[in-house]
Amino acid sequence: GNSVTQMEGPVTLSEEAFLTINCTYTATGYPSLFWYVQYPGEGLQLLLKATKADDKGSNKGFEATYRKETTSFHLEKGSVQVSDSAVYFCALNNARGGADGLTFGKGTHLIIQP
């Protein structure tokens, strides 16, 4: 079956630090990969996505590259801000046309201190 593994949180960083949140996956076929973000008191929002190997998704200074050889989709940002504090979810869709929806990881809570 499909699964997504994320690094455990919380991850605490100082403002302007470099961020990496690791994500690896197990899936059949060729899944699409996503990062969603959940700000306090809100639902999840799509942050970025990649639909095939070596694609790089980017948004709001965040980037993630689809690495098929290592089955990874690590999230990175060069300089984080306090406003980036949120829970980040890695997810996949194996696009088999079924009704599986997205498979999510457990989420990584990111705390950015001034």
Partner 1 sequence: ETGVTQTPRHLVMGMTNKKSLKCEQHLGHNAMYWYKQSAKKPLELMFVYSLEERVENNSVPSRFSPECPNSSHLFLHLHTLQPEDSALYLCASSLGPPGQANEKLFFGSGTQLSVL
CA pair distance 57, 74, nearest whole angstrom = 11
Binding-site member from 64, 80, 103, 112 for partner 1 (CB under 8 A): 103
Question: How would you class 71 by CB atoms within 10 Å of its CB: exposed for 0-12, middle for 13-18, buried for 19 or more?
Answer: middle
Rounded CA Rg of the chain = 14
The residue (of 17 and 95) whose beta carbon lies closer to partner 1 is 95
Is residue 63 close enough to count as binding partner 1 by CB under 8 A?
Answer: no
Q: Which of 27, 32, 35, 86 binds partner 1 (CB under 8 A)?
A: 32
Chain residues in the site for partner 1 (CB under 8 A): 4, 32, 36, 41-46, 49, 51, 89, 93, 95-107
